[in-house]
Structure 1
Amino acid sequence: MLSWLPIVVMAVVAGIDISAGPEAGFLPLVSLGPAFAGLIGTWRRTALIGGVALLLCAGLGVYDGLFDTQRGWTAMASVAGVTLAGVLASGSRMRREAELAGVRSIAEVTQSVLMRPVPRHVGELRTAVSYTSAVAESRIGGDLYEVVASPYGVRVIVGDVQGKGLAAVATAASVLGVFREAAHDEPDLTSLAARLERTVAREEDGEKFVTAVIAEIHADERVTVFLNCGHPPPMIVRADGSTDLRCPPAYALPLGLGMHGGEPPLTHRSRFAPGDQLLLYTDGVTEARDADGTFYPLRERAGLLGDADAEEALEALRGDVVRHANGPLHDDAAMMLLRYRQR
């Protein structure tokens, strides 16, 4: 529809000029055609629209008898000048769009390496993940997630790197790399968290920290063990629809801040049986605000996870978060949903 806007505008101007007569002075407004073309079209199409505008301007000038005076030539010069400016602006816009497309492509490749898709099925569990970036043109941010089937149970992590940009991406990559290896080696979550702590502290030297929640799911025992490092508490949606926020017995410092002392993270356990759902998320979800400044009511919206398909259920919740914010989120929002596979 927008591609026809320059033609429609020039046709309207021509009609008004013919109806109002030469004294009204509408002829220079023919230049609106190439002006709009420069905003929405390629430089070639802008030049073509400009050529049509010049022919139309010349025809109307002859019809109005304006070339006997300076007004006709002034109108032609106006159309030619606007056409040239439109061609230059269109070319510049196309170069920026090409550069942005290249950056977006690189960002998507980076994400495919850093945030590789988690397995849809891990043992008895069904998984689904969602990542919504606060930056509309990039899907890369400081949030992270991973699922690993280890000898000690299914281990998952959801975390949030402090800060934004490439530095946050590099920190997230380090944490995920160590987690993917250590999840197979460390016998318990305390040792696993200590290894992640050393990695962040060594590489960031106190410049950045990472909030994270690590979970270890023992499907045979129907139990999940949690370890929370300054992260929003996971939510379990029970089979009867009730919700349970798994707050730690004591909040520990985020990863990377262990050098400042504080209590070490303590593990805590919770029943996790068939019919239950486990949702891990970052603060971009619960801190999404509506126009009145109200935070997203996650527990009240837990019913949106009722779809039989885990991915559809999580997408319904993600869409509700975006609608609540009524626009782009102010922070990245990552979510991971785990439930037992249907038999």
Structure 2
Amino acid sequence: MPAAVIPAAVIGVLDLLLGSPYSLLPLLAAVPALALLRPAEPRRVLVVAVAVAVAAVPSAVQYGPDRPVSVSTSLLAAAISTLMLWIVCRRHQRGERDRAELRRVADTMRRAVLRPVPGRLGPVTAEVRYLAAAEHAPRSAVPGAGTRARVRAGVRGRPRPDGEGAGVGGDLYDMVATPFGVRVIVGDVMGKGLPAVEAVADVLGAFRELAQHERDLAAVAVRLDAFLGTRGREEEFVTVLLAEVPGEGGIARLVNCGHPPPLLLSDGAVAFADLPAYASSPPLGLLRVAGSDGPVAHATVPFGPGDGLLLYTDGVGEARDPEGRFYPLAERVAVLNRQGPRGLVRRLERDLRAHVGGDPGDDAALLLVRMEPVPVPLPGSPYEPPHALT
């Protein structure tokens, strides 16, 4: 409001000091426009109207008898400007409400598509974070709140568990208990917007079904690729990383379809998983285009008690700081892991936001699974997971 109140007061005082035949009264018509530099709530327009009236009345009384047309025209112009300011603020307020509603709808869609990952399934615990890209990250509903507020919230604010309030993008993840062990998927759909959301929902739905019935992890990837072929979108593809932890533990099976390699955390060491060629293939949807029959086998990596497997999307590895430097994922995970296994993904999210200075330029998902001893569930306990692994 100072952007409008102070100029109105200055114009009113100078107009009285100048005296006849000079008058600055017509300049009051421009005062409400200054308030548009930072749109406010409509009720605050009353403050601008009062400021303009207080500045105009003494001059109108002084010059009205001698120049009634000029004075009345100036007052009418100031009134019209104030009315236009009120209309603009009303539209701005409605726009903010509509955007807030869209954010709520997007958050509901995200929760419906990306179901919350269970904290534990058998011997496997999980921690997940979803970071929305800057172009569709949620913004403050307070008018005028901008990038600096989001940067402060991203770097120092409370982390949003499981991507709460993050909106909907093309990244996907899930973890399910199956008769063959705990199976995990992390992926990234080509494209943005509603088509990407639709593809995410379809891929996750197919994965949840296939994971329960396909014994071989590689066969799950092949069937997912065939499923994408039935969607009738030849240009559509999805990069995914599939992981499986058998009930007895000790190893993790991996199949990579065009996705960034996972990070293995074992005995304090952090390294990218070096998967052989037979466990790697083009993204889903491109296997037939590439002339491949799909992955024929999975790769196994050691995965004992206390070991961790960090799966992520390319929005993490490709995140850049203001100087264009990529986020050093492996190095930062090694540093942050020394602070203890608990809360590693939460610390990693904060560190990533600090690196880019706010929200990343692309959607980013982080899913950390760890092998831990299996708690003994009480008989008939409601917390006993389905297909409990022993």
Q: Which ranges of structure 1 fall in alignment gaps of 5 or more residues?
A: none
Q: Is the 8 A contact 2:39 2:92 kept in 1?
A: no
Q: Mark the CA change 1:219 to 1:71 in structure 2 (over 3 Å): closer, same or farther.
A: farther
Secondary structure in structure 2 of the residue aligned to 1:41: coil
In the superposition, the TM-score normalised over structure 1's length comes to 0.88
1:188 aligns with 2:189: no
Contact 2:25 2:56 in 1 (8 A): no
Q: Deviations over 1:143-200 (max 9, x none)?
A: 0000001111110000000111111111110110011111111111011112211111
Give the structure 1 partner of residue 158 of structure 2: none
Choose 92-101 or 160-169, whichever is displaced more. 92-101
- Residue 58 of structure 1 is matched in structure 2 by 56
1:115 matches 2:146: no
1:221 is the counterpart of 2:249: yes
Measure, in 2, the Cα distance between the counterparts of 1:23 and 1:179: 82
- 2:286 aligns to what? 257
Q: The residue matched to 2:231 in structure 1 has which SS?
A: helix
Per the alignment, do residues 58 and 255 of structure 1 end up closer, same or farther by CA in structure 2, a change over 3 Å counting?
A: same
Q: Which amino acid aligns with 2:76?
A: A
- How far 1:7 sits from its partner (Å)? 4.0
Partner of 1:167: 195
Shift of 1:99: 2.0
Query: In structure 2, what is the Cα distance between the partners aligned to 1:12 and 1:203?
Result: 66
The aligned runs of 1:140-289 (5 Å cut-off) are 140-218=168-246, 220-240=248-268, 242-250=269-277, 251-260=280-289, 261-262=291-292, 264-265=294-295, 266-289=297-320
Deviation at 1:42, TM superposition (A): 2.8
**Greater RCO, CA 8 A, separation 6+:** 2
Which position in structure 2 is the counterpart of 1:83? Answer: 82
**Identical columns (%):** 38
Identify which range, 300-309 or 190-199, moves more after superposition. Answer: 300-309
Cα RMSD (Å) of the superposition?
A: 2.7
Alignment length (residue pairs): 338
My pick for the range that moved more, 16-25 or 322-331, is 16-25
Q: Tell me whether 203-212 or 282-291 shows the greater mean CA deviation.
A: 203-212
Are the equivalent residues in 2 in contact too, given 1:201–1:255 (CA < 8 A)?
no
Is structure 2 residue 297 aligned with structure 1 residue 296?
A: no
Structure-to-structure mapping, 1:35-54, within 5 angstroms: 35-37=33-35, 39-46=38-45, 48-54=46-52
CA distance in 1, matches of 2:321, 2:253: 34
Which has a greater percent of helix? 1
Q: Which residue of 1 aligns with 2:125?
A: 126
Q: Is the 8 A contact 1:248 1:267 kept in 2?
A: no
Q: Contact (CA 8 Å) 2:12, 2:59: kept in 1 or not?
A: no
Normalising by structure 2, we get a TM-score of: 0.78
Structure 1 position 28, deviation (Å): 4.7
* Corresponding residue to 1:340 among 371, 375, 380: 371
Contact 2:353 2:359 survives alignment (8 Å): yes
In 2 relative to 1, CA 197–330 (structure 1 residues): closer, same or farther, beyond 3 Å? same
Structure 2 alignment gaps of length 5 or more: 139-165, 376-390
Alpha-carbon distance, 1:50 to partner: 4.4
Provide the secondary structure at the position in 1 that maps to 2:248: coil
In structure 1, how many angstroms separate the alpha carbons of the residues matched to 2:90 and 2:83?
11
Q: 1:320 aligns with which of 351, 360, 365?
A: 351
Q: Give yes or no for contact 2:4–2:35 (8 Å, CA) kept in 1.
A: yes
Deviates more, 1:287-296 or 1:147-156: 287-296
Q: Is the 8 A contact 2:180 2:247 kept in 1?
A: no
Give the match for residue 136 of structure 1.
Answer: 137
**Does the residue aligned with 1:173 lie in a helix, a strand or coil?**
helix
What amino acid is aligned across from residue 369 of structure 2 in structure 1? Answer: L
